[in-house]
Chain A
């Protein structure tokens, strides 16, 4: 009898330890692959597909060490300006993510209620994504800048531009995903459009929405970073990338360290969406994407 709780606790702890071990193992393997490749190419002198040295592939411990080193003599350790930049970019990405998600979802709700709108508008929605963000960025940033809109807000709009699309397309699918008989059931209660939307379409669409939000979370970070470049915004990760690019031959580890921070930011945003999904969705296990 008394060993039941122990069993239960073990049942929870053992898989958690297993997951942790997997993470450690994956990191160790990647680390080993990087360093092994570097060692092999350097000792054999192979130059295909590219020359390997401390500039093209710095040691991982050097990259990690770069976080502790000041960028300029007497300045703060690199980690501090990078975290500031990450916070700045996170703000742009998050604002853009929320804006894009709202626009995407509202668009999907409009399209699902009107065949005419769906036919007329959907090609433009799809077309919008074939225009490279780099081509739109200067127009948005300069156009809004002339109206006195702050740079980071313009960048947020660019992040929203990348976010709204997956949300709109997936939500549209999700809003149509409920069982046809569920619609008949709602009809038999003589429930109106609004009630069907709120009680059936929207809840049925949530697994689709969250799948889209996970894609969009990383896209919003990319959008923010890319948007900073033509906007000449120096305060974010995009600015840091442009900056460290110029000094790459002198200090390659700084750019690698920046890349790690960019990836971490994307992961954090992704993680927040995944957490929200776990808290909000109580679906059959097979229905959770």
Chain B
């Protein structure tokens, strides 16, 4: 990442007020450079998922501007710039694994042979070769989420938006998928915006952690994660890793304003 590279995502003074009158986001400014891995972290209700949806043009901001590759978010969506991964895999029950992965390619009008080649490549990438004709409900939660990642990567979107993708998984599966995601990110060279509840996950994966606070949702701190790349299991034992986890935890506590650190703790996952 170079400081003066043109931004992939550029957010200026974005405000989102829901019809109920609740201000979900207030004056959000954020730049994401090409190849960055940015995590949004914060307590429930801080608007981090809403911000992700605003970037993806699934929700429109009340005011402020957002551009993706210099285009409006809307145009970027029409141009298929986004790959999205949700907390649940959201696979289509009526399709096989292979046909779930190739869904976006079908919509893009790829021919069958080209689709099949791409699906084989992707399933190899997420280590699910051999499961082409399985049904989603025959797979474990971790495998389903890998299918959903393969689907999001299928058309090489410039920007990967991930909304707590590993939040519903057990700790072991989560750590393994974290490693896999880093491998994929390094290989594909995409830019990732990643929403999470977990401090260690955010520190382990990201190049930058954006700390948000609630009521109204604001960016309270941005922390550069200067852990060496590529990261791996050894990163978890790096003293710098623990320092950064502590930094993020303290930033979250400050974001809670008058409330004590202990009060803030239940809202975010412990290490």
Contact = CB atoms under 8 A, between A and B. Distances in A.
A200 B92 contact: yes
A211 to B, nearest CB: 16
A189 B92 contact: no
Contacts, number: 55
Interface in B31-57: 53, 56
Contacts of B104: 189
Given A203-B94, A283-B94, A190 B84 contact: no
Contacts of B137: 283-284
Interface string B124-136: 0000000000010
A182 interface: yes
B166 interface: no
Contacts of A200: 92
Interface stretch (B74-82, B183-191, B236-244): B74-82
A175 to B, nearest CB: 14
Interface string A180-197: 011011011111000100
B227 interface: no
B107 A287 contact: no
B58 interface: yes
Interface in B99-155: 103-104, 106-108, 135, 137
A282 interface: yes
Contacts of B78: 190
Contact of B135 (A179, A199, A204, A282): A282
Given A199-B103, A282-B135, A284-B137, A188 B84 contact: yes
B84 A185 contact: yes
Contact of B94 (A179, A187, A282): A282
A174 to B, nearest CB: 12
A267 interface: no
B93 A187 contact: no
A179 B90 CA distance: 8
A187 B80 contact: no
B125 to A, nearest CB: 20
Interface residues of B, number: 24
Contacts of B56: 188
Interface string A199-210: 110011010000
A186 to B, nearest CB: 8
B135 A181 contact: no
A188 B92 contact: no
Most A CB atoms within 10 A — which of B53, B93, B161? B93
Given A188-B82, A190-B80, A284 B58 contact: no
A88 B176 CA distance: 64
Contacts of B94: 203-204, 206, 281-283
Contacts of A187: 58, 77
Contacts of B107: 189, 191, 195, 199
Contacts of B84: 184-185, 188
Interface in A56-113: none
Contacts of A204: 94
A206 B86 CA distance: 24
B221 interface: no
B88 interface: yes
Contacts of B106: 199
A216 B92 CA distance: 27
B18 to A, nearest CB: 16
A90 B82 CA distance: 53
A181 B56 CA distance: 13
B80 A182 contact: no
A287 B135 CA distance: 13
Interface string A276-287: 000001111001
Nearest to B151: A185
Contacts of A206: 94
B77 A188 contact: yes
Nearest to A184: B58
B123 to A, nearest CB: 19
A179 B136 CA distance: 15
Contact of A185 (B79, B80, B90, B93): B90
A78 B214 CA distance: 80
A168 to B, nearest CB: 22
Interface of A: 179, 181-182, 184-185, 187-191, 195, 199-200, 203-204, 206, 281-284, 287
Given A195-B107, A281-B94, 17 more contacts: A179-B90, A181-B88, A182-B90, A185-B90, A187-B58, A188-B58, A188-B83, A189-B103, A189-B108, A191-B107, A199-B103, A199-B106, A199-B107, A206-B94, A284-B93, A284-B137, A287-B93
17 contacts: A181-B88, A181-B90, A182-B92, A184-B58, A185-B84, A187-B77, A188-B56, A188-B77, A188-B82, A188-B161, A189-B80, A189-B108, A190-B77, A199-B103, A282-B94, A284-B135, A284-B137
Interface of B: 53, 56, 58, 77-80, 82-84, 86, 88, 90, 92-94, 103-104, 106-108, 135, 137, 161
**8 smallest A-B Cβ distances: which pairs?**
A284-B137, A203-B94, A188-B84, A190-B78, A181-B90, A181-B86, A189-B107, A184-B58
